[in-house]
Amino acid sequence: MTRAATFAALLVTLFAAHQLADHVLGQTDTQARLKTTPGPAGWAALGRHLAAYHAVVVVMVAVAVVGLDLRLSASGASAGLLISVLTHALWDRRTAVRWLLTRTGGGNFAKLARNGMNGMYLADQSLHAASLWLAALVATLL
């Protein structure tokens, strides 16, 4: 399998795993509510979410690697996982998301929370997708 095919399969798998783990299997209501709060309770909630989220990711990536015979080195897989964990934690605390939006002209978008739209959530999900792209790329190249 070519690097391009490995990258594509890994990216699709990571995106599917993200959707399942972030919205169904990898986060409780309590974790979602508390993970952005300051102090130990917020960090503990984020840690529990990261653990459950990445358990789903690891299982789905392992199934894809074995089932599709993907060429993924241990160092590549480890680096991709580390990128995912660190960036997921960064974006889920929301401070960096808000900082980025206000510095790039999206301050009002960060405040949007009406008519079924939530700017911070949409930005968070976009940043997660970009981070998964980076994780898949690094994992494939190493």
Helices H, strands E: what count in the chain?
7, 2
Instruction: Give the tens place of pLDDT for each residue, 27-50.
Output: 999 999 999 999 999 999 999 999
pTM across the whole model: 0.92
Sequence letter at residue 77: A
Q: How far apart are CA 34 and CA 64, in angstroms?
A: 32
Quote the Cα angle for 115-116-117, to 5°.
95
Q: How far apart are CA 128 and CA 142, in angstroms?
A: 21
Instruction: Give the tens place of pLDDT for each residue, 57-115.
Output: 999 999 999 999 999 999 999 999 999 999 999 999 999 999 999 999 999 989 988 87
Instruction: Tell me if 133 sits within 8 A of 11, measured CB to CB.
Output: yes
